[in-house]
Structure 1
């Protein structure tokens, strides 16, 4: 027997698995030793990819906008800004001409405390900081896929725009970062929803730069004229392990290479996979936890089983998702409904339904059993009980373990 602890909320859930059944433990390969985050950012700004340095682009009269992530993202904006300001100052930029804009997309407004925490007390005091407002967007074009390019007017009025953010896997845009600071970051509601409707297309999955959602975002950013980004890559402890700056596509792809090296793991699909989100906050609710389920689908054979280990202390996590779960009686219902009715939140129900049609889904959580069943999972009291159910049907089943399901992306080995 092999004993393995799996993160569950703020604690762990112990699993005993016979060694003959354990196919592999799928882990990210993170660098052990690294330079400081400040050093990596400074180096990236001094050596921008396919671009002049910011200090050569700005002058004392430049009106500068810096787009930063909102409170729902793990981007360490407070660490990113000081070296960025240093670079801008060396080109003559002045505080009174700089505006920081929080890229809310369609997320809620932040409190002043949250905004202050993101940029740091000192910068918040001396620099104008405002939040994106979907009601104050102007149309400047349309993408080839029909998405209106409607950008927050404060961004349109700037001479120089710098998009900041983090690069990690994103379950329908392929990756976060890059053009994402413009669309959805500072775009209109119509633009965001039109773009997000592409999430049900086949290539709109984690780890693909050719996701139609990302391609559309990049076309919108090009129409707008985004010239410069500063993005970071984080490890599982939220430490900066890489930074890229410069052209919004070329620099982004360099960051993507780092993400792939660390978090893409080649696997032979097994009979079953046991996936933990990595604990709190990634398993705070089912809405967040389903991202790990999505990654795990790549590690299991069609018709196999997935055991999702996610506490879900705050329940389902989205009202529309919960409504769809109650109203769609079968996975087919959810998939059909999504084809005819795009509703943000409902997309989660459709994505899980898609997985439920291909695999047997088990959930180890603190959710009531009826809520688990309506979400197309079979409820299990413990991970041990879920494994026993699989082994009772197939005693020789090969099982992969994914302790960091939110960050690890299994990639099927090509035969």
Structure 2
């Protein structure tokens, strides 16, 4: 049998991986979805035909102010397609541009500024016309206190959003390894929530809940907290997008935040969750390429997503550029503690806390695939110390790692997931 080569997302391009002769690859991709032939027209139609809401032009009438939330640089949301039409619609309805604010929903991530902000917004006109500002979760005065949820989560949300007369979120609908699906209500919390809000529902009592998993909204405690937070805020609207592997728009809708999000999830769910009839001892995946694989922090998502098809004791090989290095200082500290204490003792320290330490939840998520099998990482980023505290095995060649895994397990079957965490393989076999 001839060698075969597959390509997986890596940085801004693809990483070719030549599989050894005799390997039996299963390539796992999303179901192919038709590209929208006219993306700008699709956005206009979505705004004019909303889900459970009045058309955008009517919603804009008589408003005193408006705030539009956009995701940060870690999400490839096509902001260039919809920000200007919405802002122009608001201005046409009589709202002056100085009363319109676009806020980058950073959560506890770093701000996006300068050239990066220009890339994120994707339209110089927007930056020249309205205020585009970052959310800072640690600035107490920037948030409005809305009380607590029934589970006791303190709800403090960015004042610019809460106090706006018209509140709009925007996002990308994709699997999320804790909240079920990204986008919609998640752009609010954690997107523009205070750090105590974020640290509460990222604590171990939520994170270790068996229903806080990818592609699940039913009974998911994180999702339920987010819905309760939305109800506390009041009327919120959303524009929801779905992209294919080429990052082209295949779906867009607009409407009431919860209803429109659920409709978008319904569209993408069956195309993203891929039933697989067996588990594999060798799984090769990515961190979805740029921008998600800019940091090791985000790379953890790619480790968690294929867990369901990784055979116990199997090998998960992930490639991630990590062009920006590790992530936050807090995440670095959490990883160092995990390596020092070991996974079990580290998890025990988390379960004793009401507030999670900032970004340690990502380390907690990394423990889940580590409990299933062996995790190997190929990266061209990260310093020697950063590599040490990943807590996983570093490799210098994906191809060699695949050959070694096949030999070690005595099984030529290899699962390859080129798009990483944007695809969710689900085991549907009997054993």
Separation in 1 of the partners of 2:386 and 2:99? 51
The 1:145–1:322 alpha-carbon spacing in structure 2 relative to 1, beyond 3 Å, is same
Q: Which runs of 5+ in 1 are unaligned?
A: none
1:274 to 260, 281, 284: 284
2:315 to 296, 305, 329: 305
Separation in 2 of the partners of 1:254 and 1:309? 33
Separation in 2 of the partners of 1:110 and 1:309? 25
Structure 2 counterpart of 1:101: 103
2:410 to 386, 395, 401: 395
DSSP 3-state at the match of 1:406: helix
The 1:191–1:241 alpha-carbon spacing in structure 2 relative to 1, beyond 3 Å, is same
Cα distance, 1:186 vs. partner? Answer: 2.4
Alpha-carbon RMSD: 2.6
Cα distance, 1:42 vs. partner? Answer: 1.1
The 1:131–1:353 alpha-carbon spacing in structure 2 relative to 1, beyond 3 Å, is closer
1:195, 1:217 within 8 Å by CA — same for their partners in 2?
A: no
1:55, 1:89 within 8 Å by CA — same for their partners in 2?
A: no
Structure 2 counterpart of 1:124: 127
1:84 to 80, 83, 86: 86
1:70 aligns with 2:84: no
The 1:105–1:377 alpha-carbon spacing in structure 2 relative to 1, beyond 3 Å, is closer
DSSP 3-state at the match of 1:249: helix
Deviation digits for residues 237-256 of structure 1 (CA, Å, limit 9, x no counterpart)? 22221111112111101111
1:166-177 maps to which residues of 2 (within 5 A)?
166-177=172-183
Separation in 1 of the partners of 2:49 and 2:284? 42
Separation in 1 of the partners of 2:162 and 2:287? 39
Mean alpha-carbon deviation: is it higher for 173-182 or for 276-285? 276-285
- TM-score normalised by the chain length of structure 1: 0.89
DSSP 3-state at the match of 2:69: strand
DSSP 3-state at the match of 2:422: coil
1:186 aligns with 2:192: yes
Structure 2 counterpart of 1:257: 266
Separation in 2 of the partners of 1:372 and 1:226? 45
DSSP 3-state at the match of 1:79: helix
Structure 1 counterpart of 2:344: 332
Structure 1 counterpart of 2:301: 291
Deviation digits for residues 8-36 of structure 1 (CA, Å, limit 9, x no counterpart)? 445524322344x4251111223244222
1:241 to 240, 250, 258: 250
1:334, 1:353 within 8 Å by CA — same for their partners in 2?
A: no
Cα distance, 1:55 vs. partner? Answer: 2.1
2:286, 2:420 within 8 Å by CA — same for their partners in 1?
A: yes
Cα distance, 1:275 vs. partner? Answer: 1.4
The 1:320–1:117 alpha-carbon spacing in structure 2 relative to 1, beyond 3 Å, is closer
1:363, 1:372 within 8 Å by CA — same for their partners in 2?
A: no
Structure 2 counterpart of 1:39: 41
Structure 2 counterpart of 1:6: 7
1:343 aligns with 2:357: yes
The 1:2–1:137 alpha-carbon spacing in structure 2 relative to 1, beyond 3 Å, is same
Separation in 1 of the partners of 2:133 and 2:290? 30
Separation in 2 of the partners of 1:310 and 1:155? 34
2:179, 2:214 within 8 Å by CA — same for their partners in 1?
A: yes
Separation in 2 of the partners of 1:354 and 1:261? 25
The 1:47–1:414 alpha-carbon spacing in structure 2 relative to 1, beyond 3 Å, is farther
1:321 aligns with 2:331: yes
Deviation digits for residues 203-222 of structure 1 (CA, Å, limit 9, x no counterpart)? 22222223321221111011
Deviation digits for residues 241-299 of structure 1 (CA, Å, limit 9, x no counterpart)? 11111121111011112332332211122222111334444433322222111112122
1:57, 1:91 within 8 Å by CA — same for their partners in 2?
A: no
Structure 2 counterpart of 1:29: 31
1:353 aligns with 2:367: yes
Deviation digits for residues 137-173 of structure 1 (CA, Å, limit 9, x no counterpart)? 1212321121122222222332221122222222212
Task: Kindly tell me the number of residue pairs found equivalent between the two proteins.
Answer: 414
- TM-score normalised by the chain length of structure 2: 0.86
DSSP 3-state at the match of 1:283: helix
2:180, 2:212 within 8 Å by CA — same for their partners in 1?
A: yes
2:282, 2:406 within 8 Å by CA — same for their partners in 1?
A: no
DSSP 3-state at the match of 1:74: coil
Separation in 2 of the partners of 1:61 and 1:370? 52
Deviation digits for residues 184-226 of structure 1 (CA, Å, limit 9, x no counterpart)? 2222221121122223322222222233212211110111113
DSSP 3-state at the match of 2:70: strand
Cα distance, 1:112 vs. partner? Answer: 5.0
